[in-house]
Amino acid sequence: MVAAVATPPVLNDVSQDRARWKYLDNILTRRGPFTDEQCNPGPDLIETLSKAKVLVIGAGGLGCEILKNLALSGFKDIHVIDMDTIDVSNLNRQFLFRAADVGKPKASVAAAFVERRVKGVSITSHCGKIQDMDEEYYKQFQVVICGLDSIEARRWINATLVGMVDMDDPDSLKPMVDGGTEGFKGQARVIFPSMTSCFECQLDMHAPRAAVPLCTLATIPRQPQHCIEWAHIIAWEAERKEDILDTDDPAHITWLYEKANARAAEFGIAGVTYSMTQGVVKNIIPAIASTNAIIAAACCNEAFKIVTNGIASYMGLENNYMMYTGDGDSGVYTYTFLHEKKDDCPVCGNLARNMEINSELTLEEFIEGLAERPEAQLKKPTIRTEEKSLYYQAPPALEEQTRPNLKRKIKELLEDGEEIAVSDPAFQIDFKFKMVFSS
Ligand SMILES: [Zn+2]
């Protein structure tokens, strides 16, 4: 007897290609309950999608997911930009990379992988900084999807896209879909530059993490992390002052872990672990693959709905911000809401933003504080008023000339209610603040 070998049906290229897209075609050719009035499902829509040029910024944890999702959603002209090279620690979740790829640029490796797996998709990669590209470059895309972890890069692209809007040219408005994750939390949002709340309007959603006051660590720890910080900052200094702490040395981490554990026991606090010790000391937020997958999926769905002109209603004017939490403490939870545009947004608003300030502070203390203020987050600011230069980071001659101001108090330099302009080399715009003295 001859063993029966099942022969796979032979399909010609075209039908094979269409068979793969059967379910996608169903969506694109039929009107659904959430399809916008202005959207026309049908064969033309399949073509619209395949011709749309989209830009993905970032080819890391979110970027790998986004590129794969877009390719499998019918997008055929995808561009990706990323400045990083592949590190061995990326391999557990950045699934387009293999051990042999370590050291190579993320953008080109990710592009080649997806092109191999999804025939007919073209992914153009660019290894470099987004700041190297000009408006002409960004103008060619229909939508920009960001899968970045850097707040600074997202502020830059947001300001660029808002700045590109020309009221007489509808094509100058590029929707920006932004995904972000931090451990088990994440968010997906859609920004229609100049029309809806922009990344800068929403900056306070990314408040820098508040430091735990030293007195809490020293006297009444409440959380396991407080005990670890105590071991890290206080116990090490007191008992091993002569040793330089090396956070990559397992013996050092073990010592801190044991110290923290003993302190936790003393205060009846549970939960100190070795890996938590490592995380707190090295200030690591773990990257969670499932969070990236969920957020990237949400971003790609939004891009798909925008490019199809509303095959289902997309985020934008009525709601624009989806947040997701998947951690064990608060449960799995998602909420979508409208984040409103701010009139005093330095990027898309036209009013100076009020900034409350203690006028007894020196200019230097004020500048240091700017990095931590949720609404500013500026690390190398140059500050001036309409009449005078308060402090310039560069050029050296101006820095030297304005340096004496650093030691002067705010009240000696400014009037209550006076406006200042702050610029930072990381951004091309001036941030306007109206200084309101609190004392
Ligand atoms: Zn704004």
pLDDT along the chain (439 residues), means of 10: 52 64 95 94 95 97 98 97 94 95 97 96 97 95 95 94 90 96 94 95 79 79 92 92 89 95 94 91 84 97 97 94 86 93 88 88 91 83 89 89 93 91 81 87
Per-residue pLDDT, 403: 93
Record the pTM. 0.79
Residue 194 alpha carbon to ligand 1 centre in Å: 7
Nearest to 223 by CA among 131, 329, 300, 321: 329
Q: How far is the CA of 68 from the centre of ligand 1 (A)?
A: 30
Q: Is 239 left (phi over 0), alpha (psi -120 to 50) or beta?
A: alpha
Distance CA 3, CA 310 (A): 52
Q: Angle CA(123)–CA(128)–CA(129) in degrees, nearest 5?
A: 115
How far, in Å, from the CA of 349 to the mean position of ligand 1? Answer: 6
Determine the pLDDT at residue 179.
Answer: 97
**Ligand 1: centre distance to CA 168 (Å):** 20
- CA of 428 from ligand 1 middle (Å) equals 15
Measured in Å, residue 177 CA sits from the centre of ligand 1 at 15
Residue 403 CA, ligand 1 centroid: distance in Å: 32
The predicted structure's pLDDT at residue 11: 46
User: How far apart, in whole angstroms, are the C-alpha atoms of residue 141 and residue 53?
Assistant: 5
User: How high is the pLDDT of residue 63?
Assistant: 98
Cα distance between the two ends of the chain: 97
Ligand 1 midpoint to CA 162 (Å): 8
Domains of the chain with bracketed CATH: 16-207+288-337 (3.40.50.720), 214-282 (1.10.10.520), 353-437 (3.10.290.20)
Q: Name beta bridge partners: 180.
A: 187
Q: Supply the residues annotated as catalytic.
A: 215
Distance (angstroms) between ligand 1 centre and the Cα of 186 equals 20
Strand-pairing partners, residue 420, are 433
Which strand (E) or helix (H) includes residue 144?
Answer: strand 143-147
Enumerate residues 6+ apart whose C-beta is below 8 A from 154. 146, 148, 178, 180, 199
Strands 430-437, 353-357: pairing is parallel
CA dihedral for 412, 415, 417, 423, sign (positive or negative): negative
Residue 15: what pLDDT? Answer: 59
